[in-house]
Structure formats: C-alpha cells, structure tokens
Structure 1
Amino acid sequence: MSATLAVSGLVVVQAVATPAPAAAAATPGYDTICENMHTLGSLTRAGVGRARSIMAGTVDMNQYGTMRLATNPSWKPQSGLDLAGDRYMHSLHWALPLLKTGLALGDSEGLAMQRRFTAIVRDWVADNPPKKRTYWQNHPQYLGFRIGTFVCMNRLAASSIDRAWAAKQLKVELAKALAYGTYGNNTTMNLKLAAYAGAKQAGTEAQRTTLRRQALTVAARLAHSDGSDLEGAPGYGLYLGTIMHRTYNVFTAYGAASSASSIGSMIAARSNFFAAASRPDRYLETIGDTHLQRIPAGVFGSTSAAEWVRTSGASGRTPTRTYSRYAGGYTFGRSGWVAGVDTSSTFYSLRTADRYALPSHRHADTTAMTMFSDGVSWVADPGPYAYNGSSLRSAVTRRNAHSALVAPGTPNRSVYGQVKASAGSAYTHRTCVYDPGYLGSSGFELARCVYYLRGIDAVVVEDLVRSTKVSGTVQQQWVLPAGVGVRTSGHWVALSGKDANGATRSARMLTTGAPRASAGTTTAGILGQVYGASSRGSVVRVPIPVRTGKTARVVTVFTSSGTPSVARTTSGGRKALRVAVNGRATTIATSVNEFARLAAKVSFGRSKAKARVGQKVRFKARVTSLGLPAKRAKVVLQERRKGKWRKVRTLRTSKSGLAATNVKMTSKGTKRFRVVVRAKQGSKGWRTVTSVTRTVKVKKRR
C-alpha cells in the first residue's frame, strides 16, 4: 500500500473521497499529515469555493445542514443544523479550507482567509475554556477532529506565534485524549490517530508511545480476525477502514514503520468481508447504520477482492466464496460473481448477531434478512435515516422496521442471537440462528433457518416460534422497498420491480402461512438508506400464532427464477422439504429435528458471593430450549464435595423454565455449586447440559 494514498474529502457518514493526487503534495497548503487528519476540507486549490463561502459566513456541513458563521460566533445550536451538525461545530475542522486554500492562493485574498481561520479557532478557545467544555465538546469524535485542526495549524500556519499557540492548545487537548481508554467505536480510533499526531507535534515521547499503541489496540479491537466489524453495520466497518488507512499514512510519514505494517495487515484482512457484504449492484447492504454506498478507491490493495467489487471486475482478484458467515453477526450468500453490470445474480443476507456488537450503530435486527436478485432489491433493510434524534430515526433501529421475526413485546438488545447451524457447499447454503431476545419481555423463543438452493436459485426461510409464557402471534415480516409492486393471492405473493437498466423484473414468494400486504408506515416499511432521506415501501406479514408451551412453524420460499412449490417429505429418516422451481426440485433436511437435538440453555446464579455458617443462599436458574418444554428437563443443583459433584436437590421448573431454591450453609470454606440439566425418562433428543460454576465463600458463624 502506497503512503501517497491520502484519503480525504467531505464528512459524509462512512464515506470518503478519491485519494489526493501525488502532485498535490508539492502545492502550498498541502501537508501529508494534515490531509490524513480529516475527511472535511478539500485539497488546497480545489477548496477555493468552500473557503470563499466560509468567508461569506456560510459553512456547508453537508448532510448535517448549513451553519451560519457570524463575525463573533456564539457557538450555540442553530436551526440550520441537525443534532450532529450542532456537535460538529465544535470540531473546528470545517474551518481548515480557510488555512489550506489561503496558503495555496498566496495573495491578499489568501492572507485574509488565513487570518479568518486564526480568528475563528482563537474565538472558540476563548469562548470555550477547558473547564467549561461539556461532554459533547470533548466527545472522542469532535475532540479528535479538533486536535487534528490544531495539528494542521501547528504545521502549516505562516506565523510562528500562531504555530506556538496551536502547540499550547495541543498540550491541553492531549490530556483529555489520553484520559479516554481504548474502548468505544470508530470515533475512538479517529481520536487516537489525531492525538498521536498531536503528540508528535507538541507532546512527550511517553505520550507518543502510549497513543501509538492505543491506536493499534483500538484498530485491532474494532474488527474481528475475519475482517467483520463490531459496530453492527458494515458501513461503519468501512468507515473504520478509511480511518485505519489514514493511520497507516500518518504512521508511515512519522517513521513508525512497524506500526504502519501492522495497520496495513489489518486493512488487507478486511477486503473479503466488504466484498461479501456488497450486493450485485456493488452497494453495501444497508445493515444497521449503513447507508447505500460503494467501496471507495484507495483503501484496499489493487489485487484484492474488494477492488474487484469496486471496479466491477475491471481489476482486483475475483472473489471465489459464495457463502460466508462472519463473527460480527453476518451471513452473506450469492449465486455467483459476475463482472460488469450484474442484473442476473442472487444475493441474500441474514443478521445473526451472535457476537458482541457495539451499540452505537447496531439495530435490534437479529433474524433480519435481505434479498437482491435480477438487479432488484426485493427484501430490504431500513438503513440509518439520520442522526437527528427524531422519531423516524428511532423507528428504523427497532425490530419492527426490519425484515425479521417480530414478536409481541420488546427484544432485549443485550441478548444476542446464537448460530445453531451453518454450512455452505456448491449446492446448498444453510444458516440457523436462535433468537432469545424476547424471552425476558414476552416469553417468545424464535429461530430462523435460511437455505439457499443454488441448483434452483431459491431462498427458503423456515421459522420456528415457541411461547413460554402466554399464547400470541409472531409476525414473519418482509419490508419491500419503494418501487416494488406487491400482490397477494392465497399463499402466493407476486412481486414486480425494475432493474438498473429499467427492465421490468418479477419475483415470487410462496408461504405455508397466510400473507397480508400493506402500505409502509412510519414504524414499518420506512427506509432511510440514503442519509437524511426516507422513502416508504410496503410490508408483507405472515402471522404465526402459537399457544403456550407449543411450537409453530412457517416455511417461505423466494425466487425470481420462476414458479416455486414446497412440500413436506422425509430424507434419510429426517423431516425434510421438497422445494421446486419450474419443476426442478431439491430436497433439504429441515431444522425441526436439528433443533430438537439441541441441548437446553441454562443460566445460573446465586444471591450471595459470601455468607456465614447457618445463613441461606438463594440459587436461581433458567432452563430454555426451542421446541422442547421445560417440563421434559430434569434440573439438579449439585455441590462439589470430596472431589466429586454431589446432588443437593432436584429443582422444579416453571413453564418458562425458571427455578429457585435456598440452600443453608452448614460449614465454612469455599463452596462450589452448579446446575445440571438432563432429559427425563422417555424424552429423546436432549444432551446433558452443565452450567457455569458459582462459588460461595462461607465464613464461620458470628
């Protein structure tokens, strides 16, 4: 990766512009370090129009609105800015075109621009002394951009007095930057990058070492080893990739070659993930807070899979995998890779959310699906809309806005999905995810299995629902984008749309349930895939009624290749589905037996970690399993004594799997307890499950 690939451009969420040409490095106002601090502020001469607009009192904050800049700014929220714009005001990086373009012009107009830049940043510091700065002024994102602004001022300002003043500000800001640890999201990475440059300009060697190591730690922590992100949104993983690329450039420019090499390796490892997350039209699927965007130039290597996707096959390495499951909670599958304009491939995604995700940009989207085929997005994800605190923004992050299983109640976003089965072959993809998110609120257990049958080009969705508390109805919900026509008839749903060339396309949906179509509302069927803009599509819902203690199942088939059919059958003694499209059939063993073989899930805790002889300690356990009532489980509390686990008592569980008991501590010492779950006699399909061990330290009686 070349160090000259400096990424800069406008602050568009998750987006970057084309890298600066090498020739720009020789122009006044251009600085390699400065250009890699920011994504706002055009490169020198190209920013004349923006700089002149700022001089006239208008600051274009792009999707965040327009800021009116008074001669003596008040630095208070403005009606022309959204919530993010009001906060970005304190970043000061929007003023950099005045400095850079002013230096590039080198005439009286340029001198006036440089003076105005200095007046703006000095006025902000005077009006916002360190002790009065709020959390949002010192939030990692805005603090990072502001530190970068002072770095640019320290390196570029014509006046030695201004450079020394900027160095003084850097020393103040570095103390706050160092106080932030290595937790957080992409904003922390941006902060550590800028702070490292600030420490190189005005800090100590100890600060430089700490911040360089912290930048490496954050970069490694925000991405799994398979390249997927922890943000719950591929677009923010891509944005993190651009920050990492700028970090690579800054490390290289400052001579930190080893650290630059580490960052470069991390970037390269992410290529396959972004290739897999891209639809056949080359846009990233809008999962979580990802808006419709393409992979930018200059971030990934010229021989990478991501470069092949970016150029539609003109360069880069052709991807080979058609099925990928990632630790960040994503599954992607497709029929194949087609160079050029691709209006023939099928692509689908499934949100498994089976790993910890940072909450900032992840939606409540476990089991959410999308499908794109024949050049049309048939089943969509809502995207982010805008970060303005509106009810619309709140709506698109909820489960109700997604093409997912929607149960009564509110899912717990801290309870993650669990992948129960996954496999990809030349003929069939299979991914099964278990979603216990509703257990705490309404007692529903959900499971979704998605199969892609390559031989007949069909996506099959099998949904299982179990109620542990009360009877109710879970909705199998499909959000269709604006422009997709929908017509229902019995178990059939006919879809129509147009591809990028304007050609009319069609798809069919067949379900064992009773589909109902309706127009989109502000809570379901709303899409904000372009930042700050929304559209309404339509929603198809298939109700899945289920009684307490019972399990219900619905199977749905999607295809754009013809007329589908589905029938229950057996394969190798197991329950199976025979799915056909235009007479060509594939038989797949389904998840019913597979979920029946799953062991119970058991959580276990105690009320006290310490007790005295004679006191009672309360132990609680919850046992859950999809498709098998808790009454079929034998739940035993055990204590470790004399080198063996010995039974304390058998616990009686409620319909929802809850059990509790009090145990009297009879002797002092460290006591270890656990819960073991076994199948009762005559119950097939359960494996023995053992909980984590809980320790109670017992002291002598008072």
Structure 2
Amino acid sequence: MRSPRSTPARARTLRRLTAAAVSATLGVSGLVVAQAATAPASTAAATPGYDTVCENMHTLGTLTRADVGRARAIMAGTVDMNQYGTMKLAANPSWKPQSGLDLAGDRYMHSLHWALPLLKTGLALGDAEGLAMQRRFTAVVRDWVADNPVKKRTYWQNHPQYLGFRIGTFVCMNRLAASSTDRAWAAAQLRVELAKGLAYGTSGNNTTMNLKLTAYAGAKQAGSQAQRTKARQQALAVAARLAHSDGSDLEGAPGYGMYLGTIMHRTYNVFTVYGASGSAASIGSMIAARGAFFTHASRPDRYLETIGDTHLQRIPSGVFPASSSAEWVRTSGASGRKPTSNYSRFAGGYAFGRSGWVAGVDTSSTFYSLRTADRYALPSHRHADTTALTVFADGVSWIADPGPYAYNGSSLRSAVVRRNAHSALIAPGSPNRSVLGQVKASATSASSDRTCVYDPGYLSGSGFELARCVYYLRTIDAVVVEDLVRSTKASGTVQQQWVLPTGVSAKASGHWVSMTGKDATGATRSARMLTSGAPRTYAGSTSAGILGQSYGVSTRGSVVRVPISVKTGKTARVVTVFTSSGSPSVARTTSSGRKALRVAVNGRAVTFSTSVNEFARLAAKVSFSRSKAKARVGQKVRFKARATSLGLPAKRAKVVLQEWRKGKWRKVRTLRASKTGRVATNVRMTSKGKKRFRVVVKAKAGSKGWRTATSGTLTVKVKKRR
C-alpha cells in the first residue's frame, strides 16, 4: 500500500495548486516588500484552500495554494517567521516571548496569520493529514483566544499591525473552515475584534492601512452595514493620507512606500471582490501614481535605494499596469513604458537623478539620491538622514545608505537610524528630527540637475546651520556637492561623511580619494573624489560604516570624512566632486557676474553658478545691538543690525526698526542694508520709561523666496532729562 504522501492524485493536486500560485516569496509581515495576490484563474479559484479574499488578507512567506512544507513544519512544532526568527509551537502554547524570535517575532506571534498554511494546506490535501492540519489550526487559534481574553490583551497584542493580521486570520477561517461551528466561532471573534479595529483612527502608518483592509473584510463577513461603510471609508482615508499625490510615501522609506503599495493593491482586489467598485477605482488611481515614484527610486541595478528602513528589494510583479514605467524598470526594459525624465523631486522628501535609462543589465548608468526630508514623515521608518546622498555608477554602489538592519531594539539598530550612520553632513550633537529640511532650489535641464536643501536640525541644539547643494553635470558625468556650514553658538567641526559599502576600497591622498569596486559582472571599476577639504579614510565601526541592507544581516564598509572647521558667527564652504568617468578638476570662477564653479573631467568642462547666490536671497538671520542700555530723554541711542543668510550677506534685505507702543509693534523707520548686510541708525529718546525695540528683515521689492526674519527684543531704560 502506497504512503499517502506519494499517491498520484496528491501529486497531481499539488502540481495544479503550485502552478496556479501567486509568485511571491517574501516576509511574513510584508516588511520586506511582498507582491500582492492577484485574482486567480477560474480553475485555481475552485481549488480547495484557495480564496481570493483570504489570499489578499496577508503577505505570507509564500503565497501558494498549498504551502505543504510550511504546514508540515508547523505540525512538527516549528514556525518559520522568516527574518524575525523561529518560533517553537508547543502542544499547549504559552504565548510568551521566545529566545528564537526577535522583538518583532515575539509580537507577530499574536497575529496568528502564520498558522494559516495549516488551514489552506489541510483543505487542499483533503485526506487524513489534511484533516489533522485543519484540526491543529482550529486548536491553535482557539487556544490563543482562551489564553488572551479581551480585557487582558496588551497594547502590542492590539497594535494595528498584529490586530490587523489577526482579523484577517479570522476572515479566512470564517470563509474557509469546513465546520460550520468553526465558521460561526470565527464570526463571533470578528465581531469582537472589529470593535477595537474600527476604534483606531486614520492617523497611523502602513499598519493602519492593513488593519482597515482586514476590518472591511471582517465587517463584510460578520459585521453591520455601518461597520462596513466605516471600514471602507477609513481604508480610503488612510491610503490617501499615506501617499502624496506624486506617489511618494509619508514614511521616509521607499521600501515602506512599496509595502504600502502592495497593501493598497490587496485592498483594490478585496474591494473588487465585494463589489465596492467606486472605492476600488479610487485605490487604483493611487496605485498608478505610485509607479512613477518607484521608477525613480530604483537604481540602475533595479533595486530600490536603501533610504530609511528600506531593504534591498525590487519592484514586484502584478502591482503596476503592464504599460507603466515601473514595469519597464521591473523587467529591465523588456516591457512597460520607458521613463522619459532623468530627474525628479518628490514631496516625500526625495530627489533622484541619473544619466539615463538603459535596458537590460545596466553597468554604465550613473544614479544619485538626495534626502531632502522637506515634508513631515512618520517617525517609525524615517532616519535622521536630511542631506544624505547616495551614488551608484558603472554597476557599483559607491556611496551608500545604511538601511534598517533589524527591528530588534539592538544598539546596531539604534546606530543605523542616526545621522552619524549616513553619507550626510554631521555636526556635533544630535539633530532635532522634528525640524524638517527645506528645499531652497530645484531645477533640471538636459545638461544638469540642481537640488539645494537647508538643514536647521542642529540649530537649536549645538547651533550649526547646514546647507547642501547637489549638482549632477550630465554632460561630463560628475556629481558635485557644495556644502555650507555656519556656527551660531560656538566654534566646531562638521564632518562631510561618505559611507562606502563592503567591496569598495578607498585611498586618500591630499585632496583626492581613489576608489575601486566590482560590478555585478565581476568587472573591476574605479571612481575618484576630489574635495577642497582634507579627506581621511576610516574603517567601519558600529556608529558609522555598518550597513544592514538585508534584514538582520550587517556588513562593514568604510568611511571617508572631510572635516569642515568653522568659527562662531562664520561660514565655511567645501566643494566635493565625484565621478567614475575619469579625473576631475574644479576651480572657482564667475558666470554672468555671479560666483560660479568650473568643473572638468578629462578636459571636458562645465561652468555653472553656485548655491552661494541661491542661499543669499532665500533666507535671513538677524543680529541686533544697541550702544546704550540706559539713556536720558533727548539722548540718541545707536542701533545696529546685520542681515545674513547662512553667514552670507543678505544684500537685498530691507530692515524695519520697530518699537512696542500701545500694545503693538509700530514702525520707527525703514532702512536699507549695505552690501555686507549691515545697517545702523540713531534714534532719539523722546520720553522716559522702558522702551522695547526689535528689527524685522524683509525682502526688497521684487525678490522671491524670502522668509521674513525677526530679531530678539532689546530694551532701553530711559530716564528723565537732567
């Protein structure tokens, strides 16, 4: 007698199921981006254990119709949580943290969706082994409910991420369980969980989107019409809030934007199945807009740049239209529409540029990214990475971003999210992450790109103002970085830091840094960096030079630093040129009467005006003083002010001296700043008492982009005449 595992009928069933499977092999939670399930062929839809709604509830380790290996492992007491570790499933689980799981794994234990392969595979097999799997699934979920009564559930058990997956598990049980008793029990659990799920508002991140999707399905299965309407409206609201109109994400990490995109795709599928066609159309338009963002966020090797909590990952199939530019990137040009733009800046705080779009294996293009962080980002997955730059050229990642490592609360995880781990400007102290960067210039042409970002994150702490302008000179294939640093409190040194990944070696000599690396074909490539500062190379450490671009796996690279020393009240400037196309040179010059740079690579030169002019007209700081703290009626007090922009003279400023009188600030006189940004005036004191003065710096008529700056208040104590 043949073993049940080798019967021809079983083999045919598994072959049929596997052939109809959705091709996705990614993380349990979808934190490593997972492909959303698509509607199956009609033959697959009739397969026991497969259900369109159920498949779109979760991003399992493998979205197959019958994940036999995983189910059998669970039956043997081992649950593979992928990047989060391995869970041991006892006959009577305690539901307590386990040494084989990291922090995220201990929390995902309560999602229960890892047990679904038992139900799905058990139904697909339909024999004695399959029945045992179904019974084990029922026993596991019932045991969890019994051991974790509603009134004793913790914050993390009811966190939107784990609650959402758990609701989805009960949706699958309600739709798929063979026993009507089990289906009714699952419906009762759905009604209990829905109350909590719908109580969460729409202000969360991707976890809230997943929760609202499963809550909608749960309400359709066991809830009221009011609950269905509320869950559907909440899902639409979260989707609209988490995605900017240009397709960029609000989480500060393209990988999480991609994960959100797959949840939106699953939402589209579920809305369609349940007949909510209007809501499905709204979600579909949002998905289409996101394709352009992921197109530009992809490097020439087709991986998303590892900005924020983004692992190395590619655009999944089945999410974006076959005619989209995202599909062109995913297939390396085999299908889809070839992108037409070489530069794009997104509201989520990103700028991307490249030399061009090359089909097939691309080991010739240059790509760069700049983190502007000029919009509010949810704090969970954004790093303190304003001004961070990455460069990928000739098939090599030369200047990298650290990635997220793992969500395990370790010191390494804490290190990679800090400014010190990034290829950015790093000042003494820690930046205030709630203070956003501000894009001050953004332009592109066929020959060059320009992006300038102002970073006041350190200003309230250590007193440093930072600005970075990145120019990509497409005609000579050179990335030029111009950094401006101003100290407002104390002299200090700011580091211009470049993180080089494993496999890239660097040697510094004078103002030069020579780098070598290998592309995907194994060919040796070289690149050069020229800086006006004094570069030094360092081995990677736990604070800088560690990359965690694959979950839970760290690699150690190296670091190049260029110190920028600046005195109190002064501004320092460093220019750095990177190219993989030869030997660069740089010189200061003028262009149409404006300060400019002349950059050449192997004799081919480009001259362009620099950010000195941009920043001088776009912001102002005020210093204000008076000659006397005390005076008498009839005497004059001299007031002095200086308007500067990142330490540079604000020559187009007008200064208004104001006095506080009768409950409001009133103008004393308007003054014009000199070429150095300085202004002075004498004011006669006409009455006794405490007089309060301030100055307000405004734009000269015709100027654009100014922000009004106001000084602190100065008080003069005026006594009566002698």
TM-score, scaled to structure 2: 0.86
The counterpart of 1:203, out of the listed 223, 228, 231, is 223
| Matching residue of 1:579 | 599
| Matching residue of 2:255 | 235
Contact 2:37 2:56 in 1 (8 A): no
Contact 2:296 2:344 in 1 (8 A): yes
| Matching residue of 2:31 | 13
Task: Read off the aligned partner of 2:196 and give its amino acid letter.
Answer: K
After TM superposition, give the deviation of residue 592 of structure 1 in Å: 1.1
Deviation digits for residues 613-639 of structure 1 (CA, Å, limit 9, x no counterpart): xxxxxxxxx998412489999575678
The counterpart of 1:282, out of the listed 287, 298, 302, is 302
| Matching residue of 1:655 | none
Contact 2:643 2:649 in 1 (8 A): no
Note if 1:272 corresponds to 2:292. yes
Deviation digits for residues 201-231 of structure 1 (CA, Å, limit 9, x no counterpart): 0100001001100000000000100000000
Q: How does 1:538-557 map to 2 (within 5 A)?
A: 538-557=558-577
Aligned partners of 2:643, 2:352: CA distance in 1, in Å? 32
The counterpart of 1:330, out of the listed 346, 350, 355, is 350
Aligned residue for 1:63, secondary structure, equals: helix
Aligned partners of 1:687, 1:165: CA distance in 2, in Å? 64
| Matching residue of 1:225 | 245
Aligned partners of 2:599, 2:198: CA distance in 1, in Å? 59
| Matching residue of 1:83 | 103
Aligned residue for 2:66, secondary structure, equals: helix
Contact 1:431 1:450 in 2 (8 A): yes
The counterpart of 1:358, out of the listed 378, 381, 396, is 378
| Matching residue of 2:438 | 418
Deviation digits for residues 272-331 of structure 1 (CA, Å, limit 9, x no counterpart): 110000000000000000000000000000000000000000000000110100000000
| Matching residue of 2:478 | 458
Task: Read off the aligned partner of 1:200 and give its amino acid letter.
Answer: K
Note if 1:133 corresponds to 2:150. no
TM-aligned CA distance change 1:191 to 1:52, over 3 Å: same
Aligned partners of 1:649, 1:167: CA distance in 2, in Å? 75
Aligned partners of 2:516, 2:143: CA distance in 1, in Å? 57
TM-aligned CA distance change 1:158 to 1:364, over 3 Å: same
Aligned partners of 1:111, 1:527: CA distance in 2, in Å? 46
TM-aligned CA distance change 1:431 to 1:241, over 3 Å: same
Note if 1:256 corresponds to 2:276. yes
TM-aligned CA distance change 1:688 to 1:219, over 3 Å: closer
Note if 1:294 corresponds to 2:314. yes
Contact 1:103 1:111 in 2 (8 A): yes
Aligned residue for 1:110, secondary structure, equals: helix
Structure 2: state its 5+ residue gaps: 1-19, 623-641, 671-691, 712-722
After TM superposition, give the deviation of residue 160 of structure 1 in Å: 0.8
| Matching residue of 1:700 | none
TM-aligned CA distance change 1:254 to 1:600, over 3 Å: same
| Matching residue of 1:615 | none
Aligned partners of 2:289, 2:693: CA distance in 1, in Å? 41
Aligned partners of 2:469, 2:699: CA distance in 1, in Å? 28
Task: Read off the aligned partner of 2:233 and give its amino acid letter.
Answer: R
After TM superposition, give the deviation of residue 677 of structure 1 in Å: 2.0
| Matching residue of 2:530 | 510
Note if 1:118 corresponds to 2:138. yes
Deviation digits for residues 435-467 of structure 1 (CA, Å, limit 9, x no counterpart): 000001100000000000011000000000000
| Matching residue of 2:11 | none
Contact 2:352 2:370 in 1 (8 A): yes
Note if 1:69 corresponds to 2:115. no
After TM superposition, give the deviation of residue 596 of structure 1 in Å: 1.4
TM-aligned CA distance change 1:224 to 1:636, over 3 Å: farther
Contact 1:43 1:100 in 2 (8 A): no
TM-aligned CA distance change 1:188 to 1:680, over 3 Å: closer
Deviation digits for residues 254-276 of structure 1 (CA, Å, limit 9, x no counterpart): 00000000000000011111000
Note if 1:311 corresponds to 2:326. no
Deviation digits for residues 548-604 of structure 1 (CA, Å, limit 9, x no counterpart): 0000000000000000000000000001000000000000101112211223269xx
Aligned residue for 2:67, secondary structure, equals: helix
Task: Read off the aligned partner of 2:539 and give its amino acid letter.
Answer: A
Note if 1:530 corresponds to 2:550. yes
Contact 2:36 2:59 in 1 (8 A): no
Note if 1:394 corresponds to 2:414. yes
Q: How does 1:21-100 map to 2 (within 5 A)?
A: 21-22=40-41, 23-40=43-60, 42-43=62-63, 45-100=65-120
Task: Read off the aligned partner of 1:504 and give its amino acid letter.
Answer: T
Q: How does 1:618-629 map to 2 (within 5 A)?
A: 625-628=645-648
Note if 1:593 corresponds to 2:589. no
After TM superposition, give the deviation of residue 40 of structure 1 in Å: 1.4
Deviation digits for residues 493-543 of structure 1 (CA, Å, limit 9, x no counterpart): 000000000000000000000000010000000000011100010000000
TM-aligned CA distance change 1:110 to 1:514, over 3 Å: same
Contact 1:99 1:157 in 2 (8 A): yes
After TM superposition, give the deviation of residue 374 of structure 1 in Å: 0.4
Task: Read off the aligned partner of 1:306 and give its amino acid letter.
Answer: A
| Matching residue of 1:689 | 708
The counterpart of 2:697, out of the listed 654, 661, 678, is 678
Task: Read off the aligned partner of 2:229 and give its amino acid letter.
Answer: T
Aligned partners of 1:513, 1:452: CA distance in 2, in Å? 20
TM-aligned CA distance change 1:674 to 1:32, over 3 Å: farther
| Matching residue of 1:473 | 493
Contact 2:37 2:63 in 1 (8 A): no
Aligned partners of 1:43, 1:279: CA distance in 2, in Å? 27
Deviation digits for residues 62-119 of structure 1 (CA, Å, limit 9, x no counterpart): 0000000000000000000000000000000000000011001111111110000000
Note if 1:159 corresponds to 2:184. no
| Structure exhibiting the larger radius of gyration computed from Cα positions | 2
After TM superposition, give the deviation of residue 334 of structure 1 in Å: 0.1
TM-aligned CA distance change 1:591 to 1:88, over 3 Å: same
- Once structures 1 and 2 are overlaid, which stretch shifts more, 266-275 or 622-631? 622-631
Aligned partners of 2:153, 2:358: CA distance in 1, in Å? 53
Aligned partners of 1:388, 1:496: CA distance in 2, in Å? 34
TM-aligned CA distance change 1:34 to 1:19, over 3 Å: closer
Aligned partners of 2:459, 2:345: CA distance in 1, in Å? 25
TM-aligned CA distance change 1:366 to 1:674, over 3 Å: farther
Task: Read off the aligned partner of 1:311 and give its amino acid letter.
Answer: T
Contact 2:49 2:66 in 1 (8 A): no
TM-aligned CA distance change 1:43 to 1:332, over 3 Å: closer
Task: Read off the aligned partner of 2:366 and give its amino acid letter.
Answer: T
Aligned residue for 2:468, secondary structure, equals: strand
After TM superposition, give the deviation of residue 686 of structure 1 in Å: 11
Structure 1: state its 5+ residue gaps: 603-621, 651-672, 693-702
Aligned partners of 2:25, 2:173: CA distance in 1, in Å? 18
Output the aligned Cα RMSD. Answer: 2.7
Aligned residue for 1:39, secondary structure, equals: coil
Contact 1:374 1:560 in 2 (8 A): yes
TM-aligned CA distance change 1:688 to 1:394, over 3 Å: closer
Contact 1:601 1:689 in 2 (8 A): no
After TM superposition, give the deviation of residue 45 of structure 1 in Å: 4.7
Aligned partners of 1:158, 1:685: CA distance in 2, in Å? 69
TM-aligned CA distance change 1:156 to 1:624, over 3 Å: farther
The number of residue pairs the alignment matches comes to: 646
Aligned partners of 1:274, 1:680: CA distance in 2, in Å? 39
